[in-house]
């Protein structure tokens, strides 16, 4: 028996590849199937089952393409009702893979169909729990992502999750290995550990959700502080449930190379988004006007999903040379299928043709400290509220990047302001959006709060601020 965790850092997502005696199972596969097909061929095993823990919201699963390539059976838990043929597992139904057995444990709460899969080894010993979004390391799945019904609130779902965990999971053996679907950085939870594997026994000791005194306390604890889910989550659930374009077709369309004249014609169409995926250090020095910068070197796919409201919007790419396929793949993972190609030769093609170039006004933290007047100048901090509350520049306003489409209208176009995040990645995204919408009277700070912290600029925090005010 072999268990391999295939972890994708950009999505903080874990898929699982399991083999035993010539047969294999894959749990929660990502959309691109080649890595799994390569493993099956390498190990000379036949894929028997594709297990899905639930209808994923944060990514488009590879279950349908994988099934077409292997004829393996797709398995969902009780209450799933997808628009394609699959096995709907009954609670405690058993599935054999070679010499091992996997038991489906229906654990509703995160979603109504959420199911954990308990692996029993060749000797029938409970060995591993593939917990999906039911149980994370340090956290549990948020109860507000299920497809809404008029009868069921997030508190109702949280109560169901409590029952699932406390009656079906917490009684399992301490030495079972927990393999969750996500780790730190995923929007599917709020308190996840950076580790991606742990024992159930350790989770029973340190996971706050598994140590609540009663059901009411559990519900209050896991619903407290939930931020609104990203815009693309609902559409991804629908695609995972109803079907989607083959990844091979999305890749083929995205890999179309457009020369300069062709690119200009396409880009001039009002609905087309120019997405530049270079890093911020390159982007600010020159880019195609109206481009939006979301760099591949950060949490690329989640930020695309959070900020581009329409998954059907045509996207034309400007990428670092050699990064075209990676860009297309990472966009497809979160459901952005309408990729219509990329500029051949990237930004250098545009620059060498002496076309109009736009730039972002960026200064160093040292320059910022020398010229800013804390009591007079407007400073916008686009970090998360929790980061801002921990420490921020005195008098800075917190406008999280995730909500830029909401607060953008409140920015006064002719009043200068400074813009920063933690390290420059998010503030450059914000800067590109601002500039594309016609806001130009701002200065972005290179290195963000990380660089500012190395200066003597006055800073404060939420607690200190409240203490002064009271």
Phi, psi of 185 (to 5 degrees): 105, -20
The reported pLDDT for the residue numbered 39 is 97
- Judge whether 205 and 198 are in contact, CB under 8 Å: no
pLDDT at 462 over 80: no
**Side-chain half-sphere CA neighbours of 250 within 13 A:** 26
- Is beta strand 392-393 parallel, antiparallel or unpaired with respect to 417-420? unpaired
The reported pLDDT for the residue numbered 466 is 42
pLDDT band at 460 (very low <50, low <70, confident <90, very high): confident
The reported pLDDT for the residue numbered 297 is 94
Cβ burial, residue 335 (10 Å; 0-12/13-18/19+): buried
- Judge whether 129 and 175 are in contact, CB under 8 Å: no
Tokens 């609130």 found at? 153
Longest pairwise C-alpha distance within the chain: 72
The reported pLDDT for the residue numbered 270 is 76
Report pLDDT digits (tens) over 212-241: 999 999 999 999 988 888 889 999 999 999
Average pLDDT over residues 116-140: 98
The three-state secondary structure class of 305 is helix
pLDDT at 149 over 80: no
The pair of structure tokens assigned to 230 is 């990203």
User: What does the buried/exposed string (b/e) look like for 9-41 if buried means 16 or more CB atoms within 10 Å of the residue's CB?
Assistant: ebbbbbbbbbbbeebbbbbbbbbbbeebeebbe
Angle at 251 between CA 247 and CA 252, to 5 degrees: 115
Cα–Cα nearest to 25, from 100, 91, 82, 132: 100
In angstroms, rounded to a whole number, what is the distance separating the alpha carbons of residues 404 and 384?
A: 12
Average pLDDT over residues 107-129: 97
Phi, psi of 62 (to 5 degrees): -95, 15
Could you give the residue ranges of the DSSP H alpha helices within 3-153?
Answer: 34-43, 63-70
The reported pLDDT for the residue numbered 179 is 98
Tokens 């390539």 found at? 69
Q: Give me the helix-helix angle, 300-307 and 425-436, nearest 10°.
A: 30
- Judge whether 164 and 107 are in contact, CB under 8 Å: yes
pLDDT at 469 over 80: no
- Judge whether 69 and 33 are in contact, CB under 8 Å: yes
- Judge whether 301 and 331 are in contact, CB under 8 Å: yes
- Which domains occur in the chain, in start order? 2-234 (3.60.15.10), 245-352 (3.40.250.10), 362-469 (3.40.250.10)
The reported pLDDT for the residue numbered 185 is 86
Q: Which residue has the higher pLDDT, 85 or 468?
A: 85
**Side-chain half-sphere CA neighbours of 425 within 13 A:** 15
Cβ burial, residue 221 (10 Å; 0-12/13-18/19+): middle
Cβ burial, residue 236 (10 Å; 0-12/13-18/19+): buried
pLDDT band at 147 (very low <50, low <70, confident <90, very high): low
pLDDT at 259 over 90: yes
The pair of structure tokens assigned to 244 is 């989607």
Q: Which residue has the higher pLDDT, 464 or 179?
A: 179
- Is beta strand 392-393 parallel, antiparallel or unpaired with respect to 459-460? antiparallel
pLDDT at 470 over 60: no
For all residues of the chain together, what is the average pLDDT?
Answer: 94
- Judge whether 247 and 59 are in contact, CB under 8 Å: no
The pair of structure tokens assigned to 209 is 């959700």
Tell me which H or E stretch contains 89.
Answer: none
Q: Which of 151-155, 176-180, 186-190 has the highest mean pLDDT?
A: 176-180
pLDDT band at 468 (very low <50, low <70, confident <90, very high): very low
pLDDT band at 150 (very low <50, low <70, confident <90, very high): low
In angstroms, rounded to a whole number, what is the distance separating the alpha carbons of residues 470 and 464?
A: 10
The three-state secondary structure class of 454 is coil
3-state SS of 111-178?
CCCCEEEEEECCCCCEEEEEEECCECCCCECCCCCCCCECCECHHHHHHHHHHHHHHHHCCCCCCCEE
Lowest mean pLDDT, pick from 201-205, 276-280, 372-376, 460-464: 460-464
Report pLDDT digits (tens) over 294-319: 999 999 999 999 999 889 999 999 99
């Amino acid at each position: 028996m072999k268990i391999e965790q295939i972890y994708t850092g950009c999505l903080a997502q874990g898929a699982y590849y399991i083999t035993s005696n010539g047969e294999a199972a894959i749990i929660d596969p990502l959309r691109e199937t080649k890595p799994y097909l390569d493993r099956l061929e390498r190990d000379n095993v036949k894929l028997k089952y594709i297990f899905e823990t639930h209808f994923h919201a944060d990514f488009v699963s590879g279950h349908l393409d994988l099934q077409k390539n292997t004829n393996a059976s797709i398995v969902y838990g009780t209450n799933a009702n997808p628009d394609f043929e699959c096995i709907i597992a009954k609670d405690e139904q058993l599935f054999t893979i070679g010499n091992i057995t996997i038991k489906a444990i229906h654990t509703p709460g995160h979603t109504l169909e959420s199911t954990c899969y308990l692996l029993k080894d060749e000797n029938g010993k409970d060995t591993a729990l593939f917990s999906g979004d039911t149980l994370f390391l340090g956290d549990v799945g948020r109860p507000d992502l299920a497809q809404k019904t008029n009868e069921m609130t997030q508190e109702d779902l949280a109560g169901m999750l409590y029952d699932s965990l406390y009656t079906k999971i917490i009684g399992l053996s301490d030495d079972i290995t927990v393999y969750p679907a996500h780790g730190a950085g995923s929007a599917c939870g709020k308190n996840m550990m950076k580790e991606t594997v742990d024992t159930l026994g350790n989770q029973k000791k340190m996971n706050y959700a598994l140590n609540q005194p009663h059901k009411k306390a559990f519900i209050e604890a896991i619903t407290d502080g939930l931020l609104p889910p990203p815009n693309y989550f609902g559409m991804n659930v629908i695609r995972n449930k109803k079907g989607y374009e083959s990844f091979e077709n999305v890749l083929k369309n995205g890999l179309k190379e457009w020369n300069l004249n062709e690119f200009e014609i396409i880009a001039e169409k009002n609905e087309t988004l120019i997405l530049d995926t270079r890093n911020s250090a390159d982007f600010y020095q020159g880019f195609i006007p109206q481009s939006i910068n979301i760099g591949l070197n950060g949490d690329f796919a989640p930020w695309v999903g959070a900020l581009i409201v329409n998954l059907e919007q045509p996207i034309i790419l400007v990428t670092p040379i050699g990064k075209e396929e990676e860009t297309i793949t990472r966009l497809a993972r979160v459901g952005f299928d309408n990729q219509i190609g990329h500029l051949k030769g990237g930004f250098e093609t545009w620059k060498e043709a002496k076309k109009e170039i736009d730039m972002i006004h960026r200064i160093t933290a040292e320059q910022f400290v020398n010229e800013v007047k804390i009591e007079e100048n407007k400073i916008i901090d686009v970090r998360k509220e929790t980061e801002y509350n921990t420490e921020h520049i005195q008098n800075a306003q917190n406008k999280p990047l995730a909500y830029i489409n909401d607060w953008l209208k409140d920015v006064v176009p002719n009043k200068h302001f400074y813009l920063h995040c933690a390290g420059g990645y998010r503030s450059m995204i914000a800067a590109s959006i601002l500039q594309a919408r016609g806001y130009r009277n701002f200065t972005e700070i290179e290195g963000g709060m990380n660089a500012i912290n190395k200066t003597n600029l006055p800073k404060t925090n939420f607690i200190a601020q409240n203490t002064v005010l009271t």
